[in-house]
Amino acid sequence: MTESPNHSIYFVPGLHRGLRVLEILGEAGRPMSLTEIAQAMELSRSSVFRLIYTLRQMGFLKEAEQTNSYALGARVLNLGFAYLNQLPITTIARPHLAALRDKTGVSAHLSVLEGHDVLYLGSHQARTGFVSNMVTGTRTAAYASAIGWCLLVALSDAELEEFCEGQVMTAYTEHTPTDAAALKARVNEVRAQGYIVSRGFRDPGGSSVAVPVRDNRGKVAACINISGPDSGFDFDRLHSFYIPETRATALQISREMGYSGPG
């Protein structure tokens, strides 16, 4: 957001610090002590204690099992789901993803690009034992997954270069792009064929089919995929069943978002 000329007048430092506590705990992915939070914020323990006390009273933080450590509370989750439910695309996609899950027998998901991450907005787990480990709210590094490559189709070459700048692209498997050129090649693959199949690209023994979803301008706004353990797929039907069904579902969602281009 562009900074207002009256930034110093409008900006509320106390609110900013309170929200930073939530961000720090969210990024850590584990409970943190008062000292750790204070160090991360470069504030005194007494200042941070008051922030934590307030957030605990409101239900945004809770005491963790370890003494004098804190974790995100249920109220943060409620806000998160409220945010997800306000996004029209989640409402549009929900019945289509449920139908795709029921038809293929594989878990179906909806994701968007947020910063450098894939954010899962919706997850419809398979009714069989072949479930996915990706659930609503999960974040993964966009550069390292097929669904991320689908979402990055929305970026120009220059934007993709900027996306890679300063990012440590760690290799999870031999398929992981570790530089801008390799990532661009993956993204162009999706751009050319309209989908991508992952066979152990992110996690050994797991597979997925990912397809971009487009908005009324024709721009990639989200991505859907079906994913799960290899044992949940009949790979002899990959091109005759799984890919066409996933592409058809992505097109249905795109049409409801106003997309009028080719399928």
Q: pLDDT digit of tens for each residue in the chain (263 aa)?
A: 567 788 888 889 999 999 999 999 988 889 999 999 999 999 999 999 999 999 999 999 999 988 889 999 988 877 877 776 667 898 899 999 999 999 999 999 999 999 999 999 888 888 876 556 666 778 889 999 999 999 999 999 999 999 999 888 999 888 999 999 999 999 999 999 999 999 988 888 889 999 999 998 899 999 999 998 888 899 999 999 999 999 999 999 999 988 988 87
Q: Return the biggest CA–CA distance within the chain.
A: 64
Residue 11's pLDDT is 87
Cα separation, 89 vs 46, in Å, equals 43
Other CB atoms within a 10 A radius of the CB of residue 9 amount to 7
Cα separation, 188 vs 37, in Å, equals 42
225 touches 121 (CB < 8 A): no
Nearest CA-CA partner of 24 in 44, 39, 46: 39
Residue 156's pLDDT is 92
Helix (H, G, I), strand (E, B) or coil at 178: coil
For 222, the token pair is 């989200």
